Chain A
Amino acid sequence: MADLNTVIHNIKLKNPVLTASGTFGYGVEFDDFFDVNLLGGFIVKGTTIHPRQGNPYPRMAETPSGMLNAVGLQNGGARYFASDIYPKLIKYKTNILVNVSGSTVEEYVACAEIINELDHIAGIELNISCPNVKEGGMAFGTSCPSAAAVVMAVRKVYNKTMIVKLSPNVTDIAEIAKAAEGAGADSISLINTLLGMAINAETRRPVLSTITGGLSGPAVKPIALRMVWQVTQAVKIPIIGLGGIMNATDAIEFFLAGASAIQVGTANFIDPLVTLKIIDGIDNYLNRHKFSSISDIVGCLHL
């Protein structure tokens, strides 16, 4: 067996496979299916300081090789997370990170402060890239000054590992990544969903209640790979790649592009056991190509 250990700032992962926020609930939903401790870690649902009802139904549209969602950060709020969800997560022996979102810098800070008090949470993923909320979210991740401002403000109150999750809905993702690194990010994860739209020709109406939504699934993988590769050239902090990873080969492509770890998102909906298959498949690949550890292939794209 190859060495799958990976480090993201201060977080030691026993393997480089994480699950993406919003696709893995709070982990507990997968207990029936498999032992989630086998994962390198998981990132729980986007959390905001105040409870959010999310967007009206319909929130989802199936697309060729993917799906659009417009959930809109439905969650019970950071205090509810701390009081009602967190106690159920203490049983896990793997890394748990919380995806933190907000409408204003102050909301991000207040949310991060609450999560900072939770010992069993290894870090946060700052979500400056949600396309489905009217205010904040992606707006922070689409300009360098606003990205830097929110990252810097949260950095002041959060002292564990802070990953910043970037939006692909930008002209130059490398510039945003540099801004986040400069403002104190410990790692970058990318990509969040791509802004998209679905129309029902028969009814002549948009499919989603919000008209537009976030595209995920294999349809976005080539864009995600390109952006991971671009960001790898631009920053020194470790990169976590995600976007349409359905199997181990997809994951390997992200490592080659420069990601130190990956997240599996939409694939969890279709196969709840997919992450275990990906972990096995990565090991298999490394053995087959006679690499002793995952770090041997990170960024090793032959040009």
Chain B
Amino acid sequence: MLMRKTVQNLKVIANLRLNDDHHLLQLQAPGQLEQIYPGQFANIHVDHAQSVFLRRPFSIHSVDYQNNIISILIKGIGEGTRTLSHAPVDSDLSVIFPLGNGFTLPTSQEKVLLVGGGCGVAPLLHLAQVLSKSLHDVSILIGARSEVDLVELDQYSKYGKLYTTTEDGSHGEKGFVSEHSLFGTELEQFKRIYSCGPEPMMKAVAGKAKSKSVFCEVSLENTMACGFGVCLCCVTETTQGHKCVCTDGPVFNINQLKWQI
């Protein structure tokens, strides 16, 4: 059963520092988690941060139904994300989740490609977990500026064939993620591409997918006030007019978006 959206206090049971600015928070729910779709997100209240008034949205990075744990990948950018990065173990966080639509999963076995960049890789781990469980042929391509920015590669490689790019060539192929050789002649082997990351990266990926008519979904990020479709602040332009990234998305098929690609 799809989990209803709820407001819950989740306990921080682990806070792992992955590198200088990335932290992984493991949050435990007091009760049984119901099904959460890959691509759904959580809106987290930030305590003790003076300039922060609204919650901060984060993709659900992975789900452990056995122990009722969701994990959140956080890159410290502003006061909100930095404060959450340092959430002490055993503290409680008020979390509204699961929110948004999630990625469309294939119904028959398919060869799929997951493309992430920067902190945008967050929802792709959960997606890879779910896809590999259904025995899809999963390839995961992750791009970063440099090797030090690539986090949790061992996690991703559990669920599919892992490829990387770095801008300085310190890991994997050198260049941008959209320049990886997978986007060459091999691209048409993939039935679906799922992408999340900085918008220019997703646009480049979407452009490649579109050129070969490969199904492609992207997960968008916008500033939000509520996260559940009532403030109408996080809209994006679609072929059907303004749609809320929080409820109509965050995942959109590239054909729905008015991107110049």
Contact = CB atoms under 8 A, between A and B. Distances in A.
Interface of A: 22-25, 29-30, 32-33, 45, 53-54, 56-67, 69, 71, 74, 217, 266, 268-273
A64 B50 CA distance: 8
B5 A32 contact: yes
Given A22-B232, A56-B237, A64-B53, 19 more contacts: A22-B231, A25-B229, A29-B228, A30-B230, A33-B5, A45-B232, A54-B235, A57-B234, A60-B225, A60-B234, A61-B223, A62-B53, A63-B53, A67-B53, A74-B242, A268-B230, A269-B54, A269-B227, A271-B7
Contacts of A62: 52-54, 223
B226 A269 contact: yes
A22 B229 CA distance: 10
A114 to B, nearest CB: 21
Q: In which size bucket is the chain B interface?
A: 20 to 34
A39 B90 CA distance: 34
Chain B contact surface mostly: loop
A45 B52 CA distance: 26
Contacts of A268: 226, 230
B5 A69 contact: no
Contact of B232 (A56, A59, A63): A59
25 contacts: A23-B231, A25-B230, A29-B229, A29-B230, A32-B6, A57-B222, A59-B232, A59-B235, A60-B224, A60-B231, A61-B223, A62-B54, A65-B53, A67-B54, A69-B231, A74-B232, A217-B53, A268-B230, A269-B227, A269-B231, A270-B45, A270-B53, A271-B94, A272-B96, A272-B228
Contacts of B234: 57, 59-60
Interface in B3-19: 4-7
Given A25-B230, A53-B242, A270-B45, A67 B6 contact: no
B68 interface: no
Nearest to A266: B225
B130 interface: no
A57 B243 CA distance: 11
Contacts of A270: 45, 53-55
Contact of A67 (B96, B225, B242): B225
Given A59-B235, A69-B233, A33 B6 contact: yes
A61 B231 CA distance: 12
Contacts of B83: none
A62 B222 CA distance: 13
Contacts of B7: 33, 271-273
Contact of A64 (B51, B225, B233): B51
A266 B55 CA distance: 12
Nearest to B228: A29
Contacts of A57: 222, 234-237, 242
B14 to A, nearest CB: 26
A221 B236 CA distance: 31
A59 B53 contact: no
Contacts of A69: 225, 231, 233
Closest 7 CB pairs of A and B: A60-B233, A25-B230, A269-B226, A32-B4, A269-B225, A32-B5, A59-B233
Contact of A54 (B5, B226, B228, B242): B242
A91 B236 CA distance: 31
B241 interface: yes
A46 to B, nearest CB: 10
A110 B103 CA distance: 42
A64 B227 CA distance: 20
Contacts of B5: 32-33
A9 to B, nearest CB: 26
Counting chain B CB atoms within 10 Å of each CB, the highest count among A22, A59, A271 belongs to A59
A154 B193 CA distance: 53
A24 B229 CA distance: 9
A282 B237 CA distance: 42
A62 B51 CA distance: 9
Contacts of A25: 229-230
Contacts of A272: 7, 96, 226, 228
B53 A24 contact: no
Nearest to A33: B7
Contacts of A30: 230
Given A33-B6, A272-B96, A58 B223 contact: yes
Contacts of A56: 237
A270 B227 CA distance: 9
Interface in B41-82: 45, 51-55
Nearest to A60: B233
Contacts of B228: 29, 272
A69 B224 CA distance: 11
A61 B230 CA distance: 16
Contacts of B233: 59-60, 69, 71
Contacts of A33: 5-7
A64 B236 CA distance: 25
A273 B96 CA distance: 11
A53 B241 contact: yes
Counting chain A CB atoms within 10 Å of each CB, the highest count among B226, B232, B241, B242 belongs to B232
